[in-house]
């Protein structure tokens, strides 16, 4: 095995989308993926990219990815958020997730940020175990809140 | 009462910092606020701002704020994150939080995003109740994960 971790290029977008769909299936939300490869291309690889993506390549095939972007903490300033860390099912147990996370930590450290955050499903014990071993803190008292497209529409209809 | 909701200007940074510190105290983490007014000024009001802030002004004094920025969902594309929604303790119960949230929802809708997200402490029942009444979904199975400055340093010392 000769895994290479490198920055994603626009040509990787279709394979990134495959990984994104595989993760959504694991998270039991396969129908929630509305994004297209074209949108990933436009959003991530133009003049003002909305994210930075690293991919793990093995035998000319993308087997994993880590997608990050800036967030803003009113306590710490600019911080990095890891939106997705994905390793293909058939490529797990080979340390690829660690290689990708290593890359994200180095990248973030070079930017000088004081925090890296991400989110995890509280029933995903293998992931939680992996993150805790890496020194991350699972903040079980902080919940994610979302207002989705329908929620936004309903909200506006009530106030207008 | 004549509350005005408007976009924050660079002159508001010191009063924004006061609100940020008040919220950190409520969240039992007063020592975690490392940011300065100077940094807020540089990060939020330059040529490439890291956030957009709306403030609630009452009698020429800032009594609340909502700070938002773009995130990137690999399911929905560009989305808006509400980092802080703060109303000064002595100005609560007057609907200022609702006015600020209304502004955030309208702003996000104008940008065409499909999701607005934020985070809430699971013991902050008044906030959870407020958000649920607004139609938001509290995703109690999603936890926040963080690697802080010390964690980043420790991580790097192990892999280098």
Annotate A98-133 with DSSP letters as a single string.
HHHHHHHHHHHHHHT-SEEEEEEETT-HHHHHHHHH
ipTM confidence: 0.95
* B150: enclosing H helix or E strand: helix B149-159
- Whether A153 maps to a domain, the answer reads no
- Note which residues in 78-137 of chain A have CB less than 8 A from chain B: 78, 81, 83-84, 102, 105-106, 108-109, 113-123, 131, 134-137
- Whether A154 maps to a domain, the answer reads no
Q: What percent of chain A has pLDDT over 90?
A: 95
Could you tell me the residue range of the domain that residue B74 belongs to? 4-118
As a whole number of angstroms, the distance between CA B56 and CA B22 comes to: 15
CA torsion A29-A30-A32-A34 (nearest 10°) is 160
At B122-131, the pLDDT tens digits run 999 999 999 9
Among A20, A24, A34, A53, which residue's Cα sits nearest to residue A121?
A24
Q: Residue A27's pLDDT is what?
A: 86
- Whether A129 maps to a domain, the answer reads no
Residue B24 CA to chain centroid, in angstroms? 12
Question: B88 Cβ partners below 8 Å, 6+ apart?
Answer: B19, B22, B63, B64
Q: Residue A8's pLDDT is what?
A: 98
- Whether A26 maps to a domain, the answer reads yes
Residues of A in contact with B121 (CB under 8 A): 141-143
- Token digits of residue B114: 């499909």
- Whether B114 maps to a domain, the answer reads yes
**Distance between B33 CA and the closest CA of chain A, angstroms:** 4
Q: Residue A83's pLDDT is what?
A: 97
Are B151 and A136 a contacting pair at CB < 8 A? Answer: yes
- Token digits of residue A68: 């990050």
Are A34 and B76 a contacting pair at CB < 8 A? Answer: yes
As a whole number of angstroms, the distance between CA A133 and CA B30 comes to: 28
At B108-160, the pLDDT tens digits run 999 999 999 999 999 999 999 999 999 999 999 999 999 999 999 999 999 97
Question: Mean per-residue pLDDT for B78-93?
Answer: 96
Q: What is the CATH number of the domain that holds B71?
A: 3.40.630.30
Q: Which stretch of A38-42, B8-12, B71-75, B90-94 has the lowest confidence by average pLDDT? A: B90-94
- Whether A66 maps to a domain, the answer reads yes
- Note which residues in 42-81 of chain B have CB less than 8 A from chain A: 43, 50-51, 67, 69-78, 81
- Token digits of residue A116: 């890296």
Are A78 and B138 a contacting pair at CB < 8 A? Answer: no
**Burial level of B89, CB count in 10 A (0-12/13-18/19+)?**
exposed
- Whether B151 maps to a domain, the answer reads no
As a whole number of angstroms, the distance between CA B114 and CA A149 comes to: 5
Of B83, B135, B142, the CB nearest to A147: B135
pLDDT band at B27 (very low <50, low <70, confident <90, very high): confident
- Token digits of residue A129: 């175990």
Which one is catalytic: A69, A70, A72, A131? A131
Name the domain count of chain B. Answer: 1
Q: What DSSP designation does B6 have?
A: E
Other C-beta atoms closer than 10 Å to the C-beta of A158 total 11
Are B105 and A136 a contacting pair at CB < 8 A? Answer: no
Q: Is the pLDDT of residue A160 over 80?
A: no
Q: Does B38 touch chain A (CB under 8 A)?
A: no
Q: Strands A115-121 and A77-87: what pairing?
A: parallel
At A101-157, the pLDDT tens digits run 999 999 999 999 999 999 999 999 999 999 999 999 999 999 999 999 999 999 999
pLDDT band at B57 (very low <50, low <70, confident <90, very high): very high
- Whether B15 maps to a domain, the answer reads yes
Q: What is the mean pLDDT of chain A?
A: 96
């Amino acid at each position: 095995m000769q895994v290479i971790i490198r920055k994603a290029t626009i040509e990787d977008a279709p394979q990134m989308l495959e990984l994104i769909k595989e993760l959504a299936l694991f998270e039991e939300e396969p129908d929630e993926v509305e994004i297209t490869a074209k949108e990933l291309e436009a959003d991530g690889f133009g003049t003002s990219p909305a994210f930075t993506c690293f991919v793990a390549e093995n035998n000319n095939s993308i087997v994993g990815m880590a997608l990050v972007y800036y967030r803003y903490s009113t306590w710490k300033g600019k911080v990095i958020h890891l939106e997705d860390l994905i390793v293909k099912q058939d490529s797990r147990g080979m340390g690829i997730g660690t290689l990708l996370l290593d890359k994200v930590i180095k990248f973030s450290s070079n930017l000088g940020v004081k925090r890296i955050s991400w989110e995890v499903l509280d029933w995903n014990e293998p992931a939680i175990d992996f993150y805790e071993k890496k020194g991350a803190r699972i903040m079980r008292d902080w919940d994610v809140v979302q207002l989705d497209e329908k929620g936004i529409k309903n909200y506006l209809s009530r106030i207008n």
